[in-house]
């Protein structure tokens, strides 16, 4: 685009946020991918390239690292941002909470994307509560457009008070698309300058009382800032005794519903753009003006708990009026508003819909081959696993736990210690972790397990990418977010230097060799000098367009008449390219026979299924 002019663009909420970072002068953005935040950083990288501004955009190995890299840039006086999903902020909690006390110099924005529902997360925690806990102001956008504007507001606010500011979009904002006005970037032309101030940047305990006191003063000033007085949806003065206070996408839904239900003239609606700290005058005025207040927010009662008032006038989660878990969909809000207005609920009360088709690993996914081998080799094994596409190994019965990033390795150590206390024999423990998860939080767990004498087989599912979130490169790939080459860091080298005594690498498509290595690994665990055995299962992700592949042969797979319809392949291999079909028998004296067939347009021709059928009924011809 012409960089001097504004124009409309169709942007996803995350793209709008990435665009906002570049427009408002951010010179360093760091992130670790995670739904629903993943597209923010790629957008910042794209717009950096497109507009030609100077900025460092990076996929960091985890959120804590990302946070700290961005802090260094801010302390040098430059605008900085860090983006992550809500549970990523748990990982970055340490630098996050302290940065509120010490403050920042260049504007610092934390984008924490929440996932009410949750749709793609291990909790539906509310990052606004985390902001309140850390004493950091938080903005809650109600549309992609507003999310972009709020990036600029957050930078300004951050610099005015030398305080980090959180922007908290939710899934429905991150993954909504809207026409958004894009303006030219405003480069701030600041030179990096770090002014030493040990009392602040080293801040030993003797300084923290004063820093905490100054943080409290900042929050008071922000709570009194008229710019963050919640916005009435209608500018006309009313004498209504009922009000709805909402934020984020819940505000957008409430706005539309009041209109649809013809309640615009009867109930006042306010949008809270800054849920914490809630404007103090607003709290007073609400108390005086309204008899009944309904608070609609996701996912925890952050606004509600700041409206200190006689509890019977506030209807929300604490009063039990609003459900205490799950997403506040338009259907649910319709029911809430109808009840609040004392109207009969509409016909559209949500019913429990059937759940549809569960996700599964892609046809030809190398993880499937690895999981099949693991379960077949160790039918009585314990299978700790982790977060990524490969969590779907649970469909194949080869994933027993999934907790948080990197937990599988340490959990496996715990399983080992629990069982080894009871005698010499312990069950096979086969851990699976993805390459990106290993970099993120697996390494300390591996060092600890080796040092503490745990015994298990660790399978690193190395598909050379962060697949689940859209194929972001890992340090081993050596590609950075802007497409330039970085120094490659090898997983093999890391494993060796963690003190692991057994390390083998194998392509899981070679099923027999892979099974053999698993057995060797387990034998090593049980040997006198044994410990943690590592098998790297290496084959590039089929969804990764960057991956280099061996050219040529693939197998055209079909199922012969030898298929008895036993279902072993469907249950244990669970490939989306294999399905049951009823085969009508031409002989009318015979019953129709259930048989498996290959869904040709889904099959990727990996050929692994040829080796799993008990009747050898899956065959193939090799094609170019």
Partner 1 sequence: MKQQIIISGIGGQGVLFLTRFFAEAAMTLNLEVLTSEVHGMAMRGGTVISHVKVGGFKSPLIRTGQADTGLFLEAANLTVHLPFLKEKANIVVNTADKSLYPSIDALGVARNCCLDLAAANLILLGFAFNHQSFFCEADVARHVIRGMSKGAQTEANIAAFEAGFSSGGS
Q: Which residues bind partner 1 (CB under 8 A)?
A: 8, 10, 12, 35-36, 38-39, 119-120, 142-143, 172-173, 175-179, 249, 252-253, 255-256, 329-331, 334, 347-351, 353-362, 389, 391-392, 468-470, 576, 601
Q: Is 388 left (phi over 0), alpha (psi -120 to 50) or beta?
A: left
Give the bridge partners for 80, in sequence order: 28, 108
* C-alpha of 429 from chain center: 27
Q: By C-beta, is 35 or 247 nearer to partner 1? A: 35
Q: By C-beta, is 360 or 510 nearer to partner 1? A: 360
Q: By C-beta, is 361 or 446 nearer to partner 1? A: 361
Calculate the CA dihedral of residues 548, 554, 558, 563 and round it to 10 degrees.
-70
DSSP 441: I
Half-sphere exposure of 538 (CA within 13 A, CB side): 15
Report, in Å, the least distance between residue 371 CB and partner 1: 14
Report, in Å, the least distance between residue 580 CB and partner 1: 14
Report, in Å, the least distance between residue 357 CB and partner 1: 5
Report, in Å, the least distance between residue 134 CB and partner 1: 26
Report, in Å, the least distance between residue 329 CB and partner 1: 6
| Helices 63-75 and 93-102, packing angle to 10 deg | 20
Give the C-alpha separation, 570 to 562, whole Å. Answer: 16
Report, in Å, the least distance between residue 251 CB and partner 1: 8
Instruction: Name every residue whose Cβ is closer than 8 Å to that of residue 151 and which is 6 or more positions away in sequence.
Output: 17, 20, 21, 23, 24, 26, 81, 109, 167
Q: By C-beta, is 175 or 315 nearer to partner 1? A: 175
Report, in Å, the least distance between residue 145 CB and partner 1: 10
Q: By C-beta, is 87 or 215 nearer to partner 1? A: 87
Report, in Å, the least distance between residue 8 CB and partner 1: 6
Pick from 493, 532, 539, 491: nearest CA to 514: 539
Report, in Å, the least distance between residue 366 CB and partner 1: 14
Q: By C-beta, is 450 or 609 nearer to partner 1? A: 609
Report, in Å, the least distance between residue 427 CB and partner 1: 29
Give the C-alpha separation, 196 to 23, whole Å. Answer: 29
236 prior amide bond cis, ω within 30: no
Report, in Å, the least distance between residue 85 CB and partner 1: 10
Q: By C-beta, is 179 or 490 nearer to partner 1? A: 179
Q: By C-beta, is 142 or 158 nearer to partner 1? A: 142
Give the C-alpha separation, 419 to 128, whole Å. Answer: 41
Pick from 160, 14, 155: nearest CA to 83: 14
* C-alpha of 167 from chain center: 16
DSSP 120: S
Q: By C-beta, is 121 or 158 nearer to partner 1? A: 121
φ, ψ (nearest 5 deg) of residue 462: -100, 95
Q: By C-beta, is 158 or 466 nearer to partner 1? A: 466
Pick from 146, 121, 130, 73: nearest CA to 97: 130
Spell out the long-range contacts of 426-429 with Cβ–Cβ below 8 A and sequence spacing 24 or more.
426/455, 427/380, 427/381, 427/382, 428/378, 428/380, 428/381, 428/382, 428/457, 428/522, 428/525, 429/381, 429/382, 429/383, 429/384, 429/455, 429/456, 429/457
DSSP states along 184-224: ------PPP-----HHHHT--HHHHHHHHHHHHHHHHHHHT
Q: By C-beta, is 395 or 564 nearer to partner 1? A: 395
Pick from 580, 535, 490: nearest CA to 371: 535
Q: By C-beta, is 1 or 523 nearer to partner 1? A: 1
Spell out the long-range contacts of 237-240 with Cβ–Cβ below 8 A and sequence spacing 24 or more.
238/265, 238/268, 240/266, 240/267, 240/268, 240/290
Pick from 558, 536, 570: nearest CA to 620: 558
Q: By C-beta, is 357 or 487 nearer to partner 1? A: 357
Instruction: Name every residue whose Cβ is closer than 8 Å to that of residue 309 and which is 6 or more positions away in sequence.
Output: 283, 286, 287, 293
Report, in Å, the least distance between residue 522 CB and partner 1: 30
């Amino acid at each position: 685009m012409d960089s001097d002019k504004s124009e409309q663009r169709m942007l996803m909420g995350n793209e709008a946020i990435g665009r906002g970072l570049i427009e408002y002068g951010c010179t360093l953005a760091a992130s670790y991918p995670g739904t629903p935040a993943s597209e923010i950083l790629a957008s910042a990288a794209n717009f950096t390239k497109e507009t030609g501004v100077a900025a460092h955009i990076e996929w960091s190995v985890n959120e804590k690292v990302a946070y700290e890299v961005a802090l260094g840039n801010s302390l040098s006086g430059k605008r900085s941002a860090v983006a992550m999903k809500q549970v990523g902020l748990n990982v970055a909690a340490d630098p996050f909470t302290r940065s509120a006390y010490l403050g920042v110099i260049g504007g610092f924005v934390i984008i924490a994307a929440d996932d009410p529902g949750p749709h793609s997360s291990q909790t539906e925690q509310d990052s606004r509560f985390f902001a309140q806990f850390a004493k950091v102001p938080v903005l809650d956008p109600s549309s992609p457009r507003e999310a972009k504007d709020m990036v600029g507001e957050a930078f300004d606010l951050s610099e005015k008070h030398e305080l980090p500011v959180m922007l908290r979009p939710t899934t429905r904002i991150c993954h909504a698309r809207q026409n958004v006005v894009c303006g030219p970037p405003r480069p701030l032309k600041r030179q990096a300058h770090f002014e030493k101030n040990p009392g602040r940047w080293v801040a030993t305990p003797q300084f923290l009382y004063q820093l905490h006191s100054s943080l409290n003063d900042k929050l008071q000033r922000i709570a009194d800032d008229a710019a963050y007085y919640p916005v009435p949806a209608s500018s006309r003065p009313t004498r209504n005794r009922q009000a709805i206070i909402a934020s984020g996408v819940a505000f957008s839904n409430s706005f539309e519903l009041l209109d649809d239900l013809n309640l615009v003239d009867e109930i006042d609606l306010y949008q809270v753009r800054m849920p914490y700290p809630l404007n103090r005058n607003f709290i007073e005025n609400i108390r005086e003006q309204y008899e009944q207040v309904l608070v609609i927010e996701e996912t925890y009662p952050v606004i509600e708990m700041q409206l200190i008032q006689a509890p019977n006038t506030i209807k929300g989660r604490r009063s039990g009026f609003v459900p205490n878990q799950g997403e506040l969909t338009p259907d649910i809000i319709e029911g809430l508003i109808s009840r609040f207005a004392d109207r009969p609920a509409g016909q559209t009360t949500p019913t429990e819909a059937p759940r549809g088709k569960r996700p599964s690993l892609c046809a030809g996914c190398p993880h499937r081959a690895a999981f099949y081998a693991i379960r077949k080799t160790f039918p009585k094994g314990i299978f700790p696993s982790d977060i990524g596409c490969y969590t779907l190994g649970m469909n194949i019965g080869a994933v027993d736990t999934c907790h948080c990033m990197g937990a599988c390795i340490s959990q496996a150590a715990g399983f080992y210690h629990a069982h080894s206390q009871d005698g010499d024999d312990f069950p096979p423990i086969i851990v699976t972790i993805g390459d990106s998860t290993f970099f993120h939080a697996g390494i300390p767990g591996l060092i600890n397990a080796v040092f503490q004498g745990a015994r298990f087989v660790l399978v690193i599912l190395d598909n050379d990418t962060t697949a689940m979130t859209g194929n972001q490169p890992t340090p081993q790939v050596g590609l950075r977010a802007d497409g330039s080459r970085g120094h490659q860091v090898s997983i093999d080298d890391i494993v060796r230097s963690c003190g692991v005594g057994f390390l083998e690498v194998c392509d899981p498509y070679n099923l027999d060799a892979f099974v053999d290595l698993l057995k060797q690994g387990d034998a090593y665990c049980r040997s006198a000098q044994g410990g943690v055995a590592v098998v790297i299962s290496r084959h590039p992700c089929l969804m990764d367009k960057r991956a280099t592949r061996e050219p040529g042969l693939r197998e055209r797979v079909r199922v012969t008449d030898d298929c008895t319809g036993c279902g072993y392949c469907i249950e244990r291999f669970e490939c989306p390219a294999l399905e049951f079909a009823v085969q009508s028998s031409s002989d009318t004296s015979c019953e129709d026979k259930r048989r498996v067939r290959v869904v040709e347009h889904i099959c990727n021709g990996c050929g692994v299924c040829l080796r799993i059928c008990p009747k050898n009924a899956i065959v193939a011809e090799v094609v170019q």
